[in-house]
Structure 1
């Protein structure tokens, strides 16, 4: 673990940035070190248990103090930084807060303690969590969530590469927040590398059901039964405008390719009838064009189905007469 005495490099980076105090955004990482990290990650893929020296810049109390002085700063991206012991304990921060509204954290297996940056940002409106190298990010402990004060203001939440085994912890955290304060999340995206059972997704939906969700993205469904569609319709019938659902066919599938869903399309459609404001719907259900071309929708709307039924009945009648 880094200490503040080891943080000269990050300290100098923030001090040099202070000359441009009018700029509203900051990417906190060292590009050369990030490239070295990427190269090292590939070299270590077969030697995970061997000790190695981390490349990360330290996120120290010096960094926090300088960032807090940049009053025009509203967007902060922190990539692959290790949080120092003094920041973890908060012993030297004296109530210092970061003025950012938009925060993006990029995790690796060595920098999972970056979750402790969240309590320093009480005014967040947008929070994005992601990870490269196909590393699943574990959800932090309750001790971190209880110190976060941004939830009453948070509007957009993106959680990418979240570890599927941590979803219940995430749901419990959001549910605890919803019990004491009103959620204002309008955009919610959850991405998991491997498929998640419907029961866990339903529990997560319960935690955010009172939020005014307008855009909902769930990438990483394992089962995706019609009951899940029904629950989404119940939770967000008066607010949801856009919905994206991505199912995983097996644990080997990590991309978002088209696959066969467990039920035919017409089994799912009625469960979305409650979503009267829905304008955009996307899912990775494989639908052969030879079976149902998109142009058929116009024919159905123009009464093609009734015409086809009449023609079928007439043909049956002609066959009966000829017999």
Structure 2
């Protein structure tokens, strides 16, 4: 399989400003903060400008709407439009439509990527203004009281306390605490919530695909908890063409829950984090099975009819599939010399 086509596909979704559209489909031709963070994960350790330019574009969004962040460093948002928006137009402007913008995990994902990028030599921070933005985002998370705040979560749906949102914020705060001022108690409050909530995602969901983020990329749960999360996801959510987000998910449900393609490589990456190579390799064939020759991997297979939906290709799916297959090949090559 020609993995260079994966990079070509991702570059087709890359905008001149460095950000990425979530998909080439008309429904998803927008820039989501979280999707950009996941899309450039393969480039964290590469010497290319893809990672740097993507995060610089996100910094530019925050600078454009810095006035809003300044307000909500001191005053909690009430209406969804008051939150830092989760998605933007291709020219990085807010969209005047109602949306579930309360997504603390997206802010956590950004902070984590900035901290990790900086640590690995990526020039994501350009100047003192970028550092001020980081500090203001930390203050924003404190103001919204992320550790017990109801938000729309990774799937942009019902408002409740999501472990994946709290975990992303904890990971992000940890990642930038040497760059800006982060009160230790601010991190501890999130950690305490996770102790109380995990292995559940929320009050209404015991198993959720979003919980994989706490294993990869954030690495903020211990091995025992990671294994429990993986056991729940694989036993309750894994299906033939992918992984459902949670039980009774109504999105693209025409008889059963939709099966998300990035679930397979994400599970594989999680098992690799735990050193469980044999389990990780089980997901190589499953991942490849969803990859056409042109790497136009769909977002999901519609539940009940087993056909891809129109959000094809999905940048997030292409990125995780590419990265997982790259990592397994490197792992296999290394084993030849042991």
Superposed pair shares fold, TM > 0.5: no
Q: Which has the higher helix share?
A: 2
> Structure 2 length as normaliser, TM-score?
0.30
Larger Rg: 1
Please, what TM-score do these two structures have when normalized by structure 1? 0.31
